[in-house]
Amino acid sequence: MVSSTFRLLILCTQLALLIFIININITHAQLQPPAIPSAVCDNNKGNYTTNSTYQNNLNDLLSSLLSNNNGYGFYNSSRGQNSDTVFAIGLCRGDVKSDACGKCLSDATYVLPEACPDQKEAIGWSPNCMLRYANRSMYGLLEVNPAYSARNTENVSSASLNAFNQELTALFKRLGSEAAGGGDLRKFAVGNASVGSNSNITIYGLAQCTPDVSEAECSTCIDGAFGVVPSCCSGSIGVRIVTPSCNIRYEISPFFDSTNETPLPSPPLATPASAPPPPPAGATTPGGKKSNTSRTVIITVVTIVVFLLLIISICIYLRWKKRKEKLEEGDEIETEALQFDFNSIKVATNNFSEANKLGRGGFGAVYRGRLWNEEDIAVKRLSRDSAQGDIEFKNEVALVAKLQHRNLVRLLGFCLEGNERLLVYEFVPNASLDKFIFDPIKRAHLDWDSRYKIIVGIGRGLLYLHEDSRLRIIHRDMKASNVLLDAEMHPKIADFGMARLFDLDQTQGETSRVVGTYGYMAPEYVMRGQFSVKSDVYSFGVLVLEIISGQKNSSFHHGGHVEDLLSYGWKSWKEGTASNLVDPMLKNGSRPEIMRCIHIGLLCVQQTIADRPTMAAVILMLTSSSVDNLPVPSQPAFFMDGGGIGSSSDMSLGWENSSGVTGSDPSRSGSAQKSPHEVSIPITSCLLSANGS
């Protein structure tokens, strides 16, 4: 009896283990959040705050979106009232089956908010579906922006190209008409066409619109998307172009399911979990007394199963958490989603004409361009003598593209074709900050409210780089010319050419190659090559004093004399005459607010690193009136009193001029070696303003 019980125990244990191994695989597959290959976060449409009414409405809307299916893979719903209303639209590809459609959109409702944290408006595309949400109604609107394109790098042979283009045009003329006439429930068409009699090429095409647009609007959208093909992807054997209102795709091999022509049914309603099965009949004896042997078996098996369940649950949780952290770090961003076609950029910039040229820096010229969807861009055409490899170039593009903040200039993508390397940025219409605050005429347009907004915006951008982004980045070259102003005069930090990437637990780095702009560099960096977040804090303090005074740090003019801005500012503050530092054009500004900002600026430029506040503390001091008693600032670094610099340390300095050429003090010899903690981000040195400054 004991032997039989033991065998039964082993059998039950093995069975339980097998069942849970199967469950592990199923659960593990369900917990892996798939990526959205292309996601666009609109920084210009506003942000929401964590745990706000808007975020709660967004979460509720996305969790219930699948219950608002029109029966043909189109989803439209909204949540909330007034300014907290959230609207969402989901669309599955017309040939995708119901279960695949539901899974695609369900995954997208998780991935898209992670890819675009705190953004009120976002859109994401995957091969099977599209999801978008915004704080405005989108239903019934024809929208072609933002757009995304991808192409197969293999081209049709030149002998077949003319016939291929003729059949392709005819195919999409037919598909566009068929999709547009599909009615109010589904606007979708697929088909194929053979190219000549000798080429053995068959083109498979797909055209689709969201069913909420009219027939004429759908036709216009598809025609416009197909009209991009000659300029961006001529001759390619496969192209995909997607916009919010329509999408097209073609390949020379089948990619759609022509058998799935039945309407997509509404997703089934969630059903409650089934009740647990009744206990086995053999668990009790006819007299109602439990068998001791059976009780032992059951207790043992249950104990083992519970133990296995606990271990398995812990393992699943740890794996899920690890993958979730990877997703939050932006691993879902693929460089292919950021790649532009060279011909489309060539068309956008009018073949890189001189009329479109905005300026030239040390790494190449920058041009203004306009894409087919009327989006303005700034294109940096890199010099062709770069030693950086294609893989490294793509990796760095993906790295910079992960930086998403309203006070950072946004990288839209890149082009890598032959010897051409292009970087595509959002177009910032106004010039850099130095063109305003150091110009006696233009700075009259910046009253105190505008300058205060610029100061806070720069501070928030630096705080994001230091603490809130997926990476910790030290800018190392904060100055007025590296702050761009958009149409509403909001600041955007640019030029990460000297930036350094830190591990999250790393606090300081060192380099023997000191580069930057004298006057903005912290003393520990100038004299010992040490840099940290406090180096950026120092530069920010200098910038604050320049914005308030309207004068450069190296040449502050007062009473016919030229003095060092930091030294004069600290002496004036100490003597109670800090108002002498203020630009006369700010006479109508808030005097207590201006004095507070001078105080904060002086705290940032203190010589001792530990005495300088973090950017988190700076933002708190700038925006919170509850912080009344600010620390007393000590003497700034490089204090000049009577013509001498108040530091006897060696002032030998490596430097990098505006053309990107690196030099050094003649007294210093030897090649500069990169610190093992440094990670260079050279492509971002091309992050220039729209005017090329």
Distance, CA of 247 to CA of 251 (rounded, Å)? 14
C-alpha count within 13 angstroms, C-beta hemisphere, residue 382: 23
Work out the angle at residue 534's Cα, subtended by the Cα atoms of residues 531 and 537, and round it to the nearest 5 degrees: 120
Length of the chain: 693
C-alpha count within 13 angstroms, C-beta hemisphere, residue 607: 14
Q: What is the DSSP string of 573-615?
A: HHHT-GGGGS-GGGTTS-HHHHHHHHHHHHHHTBSSGGGSPPH
Distance, CA of 53 to CA of 135 (rounded, Å)? 12
The residue ranges of DSSP E strands in 454-507, in sequence order, are: 472-474, 483-485, 491-493, 500-502
Q: Contact 691/494 with Cβ under 8 angstroms?
A: no
Q: Contact 530/677 with Cβ under 8 angstroms?
A: no
Q: Which pair of tokens denotes residue 553? A: 């740090």
Concerning whether 477 is annotated as a catalytic residue, the answer is: yes
Among 550, 570, 569, 557, smallest CA distance to 451 is for 550
H, E, C per residue of 225-287: HHHCHHHHHCCECCEEEECCCEEEEEECCCCCCCCCCCCCCCCCCCCCCCCCCCCCHHHCCCC
Q: Which pair of tokens denotes residue 571? A: 């002496």
Q: Which pair of tokens denotes residue 512? A: 């023997």
Q: Which pair of tokens denotes residue 600? A: 């904060």
Q: Contact 556/583 with Cβ under 8 angstroms?
A: no
Catalytic residue (one of 107, 212, 477, 564): 477
The CA dihedral of 98, 36, 229, 378, to the nearest 10 degrees, is: 150
Distance, CA of 465 to CA of 456 (rounded, Å)? 14
> 239-242 and 187-195 as β-strands: parallel, antiparallel, unpaired?
unpaired
Distance, CA of 185 to CA of 212 (rounded, Å)? 8
Q: Contact 473/492 with Cβ under 8 angstroms?
A: no
Q: In which residue are the tokens 């798939």 written?
A: 34
Q: Binding residue per annotation — 571? A: no
DSSP 465: I
Among 517, 515, 499, 464, smallest CA distance to 679 is for 499
Please return the burial class of 193, using the count of CB atoms within 10 Å of its CB with bins 0-12, 13-18 and 19+.
Answer: buried
The CA dihedral of 416, 417, 423, 429, to the nearest 10 degrees, is: -150
Give catalytic residues, as residue numbers: 477
Annotated binding site for ATP: 380
